[in-house]
Structures are given as structure tokens and as C-alpha cells.
Amino acid sequence: MQQASLNGVINQNALATTFARPAPGYVLGWSVDPAHHDSAHDRSTRRALAERLASLKGYRYFGEVGGAAPPPGPLFYVPSDTIAGRELAHSMGIRQESDLFGGVVPFPYVATKAISHPLFGLDAAAPEGWVSSFAECIRHCVLDGFTAFSEADARRAGHWLLRGGSVRIKPVRATGGHGQTAVSDAASLDRVLAELPGIATDGVVLERNLREPRTLSVGQVTVGDLRVSYYGLQREVRNHRGESVYGGSDLTAVRGGLETLHAMPLSRDLHLAIEQARAYHAAVVDSFPGFMASRINYDVAQGLDDAGQWRSGVLEQSWRIGGASGAEIAALEAFRDQPQRKLVRASCFEVFGDPPTLPPGACVYHDGVDSRVGRLVKYSFVEPHVDPT
């Protein structure tokens, strides 16, 4: 991961003695690693959402890190990625979760899908800082699977998993369902792994494949004095290449943290998803000193495996601005504007192709042609009423 240069961004501690009167704060976007989440639609989306976060905090949006130095005052960052390394975070003045919309982890692999599964065998290749005990702590929260950091380890793990049915091969940094392949035989598994780049550096996940699962989102966001938790359902759409990809989320949000969400009267399956997300998050906090996050999101898949057995497990975590953040911020805005409101239903949409007919009150935060994905429109919407709880 490349460290961004502040190019003269102020040292807040040094200026504290120079400016006696309190100054307004500023929100800065931060492209942490140009190799990830840096397409035109990613950048456009981050800017639009960062401007809304600035409004929520009562700050001003100032632009991207690396441009002109902002005036003196508190800074709040909206990074493109989870920040890997406390030193990098501290160099930007990020010392607590209230300094950013996102998260900080001690090692790069912790921010990826690689964290969710054990290695295959005691002699398997491992990255710096690998915490082998973590996989045991979350075993009941995830689907059966393994993480590998060499093609040979991945082949061994995949062949073993194939004994129980089809296997999903997942690049650990891909988002929105991109790059994943389900295989049902050893030859197909070996072929996919041979063509997959980055195994030695980033790793690869091999996981029990579910047939037509539903993917739930469980999360929590904190901005200023507002803390909101939510559950929701993801939608899949077809992109311009006909691939099935992330198309948005429908969230039900309440004031408070995950413990508030867990106490709600919900269906057994939904309650289990929230329980698994809470347990996964607690294990992260306990296992990785220095971890902090103001935005947490856990995707939980529920469905049948090849043997017809129903399964539920956390697929991956996100501690950065993500696909559901348009709906998350819309929910925060609704709670800010209506202090008496206890529950909000907020949705975000990603539409490939011609602009859709927007519902009243919709907020468009990207509308354009991206060189990688084509025409894409993103917008959020809050239901004007809620059902009684």
C-alpha cells in the first residue's frame, strides 16, 4: 500500500498554539492506494458522499489529500481503503475512530477477505502478522473454507473442500462479487487458480459454495454524535457485460449500536445473521490490537449447499466507505433531521444503463460513463414513513 503525501497538510498540534479561536473542521477525501477503488465512478461517489458527511458533521468539504493544504482546524478523512498500519494513520492525524469514516487495521491482510478463514496445514505460507487463533474464534460465524497464500496451498485446500461439494474461489481484494468463480471438480479448480494473479502477495479464499443464497448486510456507522446500526438485503443486477454484480442494498436502521439491533424482535434467520456479525466483530477487536472503525459492515450469506444443508456465515467484512454507504448516510441524515424517529428504511441503487425513473426525494451521487464499467447511476432513497416497531 502506498502512503499518500500530505504535501503540506498542516500539523494540527503545532498550530493549536497559533490560532486561539476555534476554527471549523474540514473533510478530506483520501485515495489511499491508487491501485484500488480508484475508477472514475469510485472517485465521483466518494466525493459526493464525503460532501454529505461534511454536512452531517457541520464541517466543510475541502478536497483530496495531496492538493492544497486546508486551513487550520479539525480534519475528518474519508479514505478509499481501510488504512493498514497505525503509523500511517497517525501520520495523517488519525488517532481515534471519530477522525475518519472507515477503519484502521494493523496489517494489510486484515482488511481483506483473507482474514475470514484458516490456512490449510501448519506448513502453509502466511503473511506478516498472521493471527492463527482468529479463525478458531470465528469458526461458528463463517462458512467452511480456507485462505491460501500460495498456489500449491490453494490447490490442496480446494481439493479437500471439493469432497463436500462445489467450491467458490474468491480473490481477496475484489468487491461487489467481481472475479469470483464456483467450481465443482479438481481440473476446473486447478485451471482457475493457475490463471489467478496475486495469490502469493494478497492471498485467495476457497469457500463452501451456496446455491442461490441471499446476502444480508449487518453494520454500524458512527458520525459525530450519531450512531446507527442496521440490517439489510443486497440486490444483484446485470452489468454491461451481463455479469451478476452488486446492485444496491435495502437497509433497516435504528439508533444505537449492534447490541440495539440484536435486541430487536426479528426472524430467527435474521437474528442469527446479526449474532454472527456481532461475534465476528468482537473477535476482530479482541484479536487485533490497534483496530478501530467508525464504519463496519459484514456481509452474511444464507442458503443451501450442494447437499441441501442450510448454512449461514459471514462472507466478508468492510471497514471503508462501501457499496451500502449511500444508504447508510441517507439513514444518518434522516435521524439527524427527525430527532423523534426511531427507525429508518433507506436504500441505495446501482443502475447500469439508461438513467432510471427516480422516486421523489432520491439523492443521486453518481451519474456518468465510466471507462471500466460503462454508464452507471447511483442514488439513495429513504422511505417517507416507517412501520411501527
b/e sequence 31-65, b meaning 16+ C-beta within 10 Å: bbbeebbeeebbbbbbbbbbebbbebbebebbebb
Report the share of the chain in percent with pLDDT over 90: 79
At 64, which amino acid appears? Answer: E
Residue 11 pLDDT > 50: no
Residue 266 pLDDT > 60: yes
If pLDDT is split at 50, 70 and 90, which confidence band does 381 have? very high
**pLDDT tens, position by position, 124-170:** 999 999 999 999 999 999 999 999 999 999 999 999 999 999 999 99
pLDDT of residue 166: 98
Residue that wins the pLDDT comparison between 299 and 23? 299
Q: Do 69 and 9 meet the contact criterion of CB atoms below 8 Å apart?
A: yes
Residue 368 pLDDT > 70: yes
- Specify burial of residue 149 (Cβ count, 10 A radius: 0-12, 13-18, 19+): buried
Give phi and psi for 347, each to the nearest 5. Answer: -130, 150
Residue 184 pLDDT > 50: yes
Residue 53 pLDDT > 50: yes
pLDDT of residue 23: 57
**pLDDT tens, position by position, 306-341:** 999 999 999 999 999 999 999 999 999 999 999 999
Residue 173 pLDDT > 50: yes
In the predicted model, what is the mean pLDDT of residues 109-127? 96
Q: Do 71 and 53 meet the contact criterion of CB atoms below 8 Å apart?
A: no
pLDDT of residue 355: 78
> What is the chain's mean pLDDT, rounded?
90
If pLDDT is split at 50, 70 and 90, which confidence band does 15 have? very low
pLDDT of residue 128: 94
Residue 335's CB is within 10 A of a number of other CB atoms, namely: 22
In the predicted model, what is the mean pLDDT of residues 45-58? 96
Residue 18 pLDDT > 90: no
At 155, which amino acid appears? Answer: R
pTM for the whole thing? 0.89
In the predicted model, what is the mean pLDDT of residues 239-256? 92
pLDDT of residue 385: 64
Rounding to the nearest 10 degrees, give the CA dihedral for residues 172, 292, 39, 205.
Answer: 0
pLDDT of residue 291: 97
Residue 378 pLDDT > 50: yes
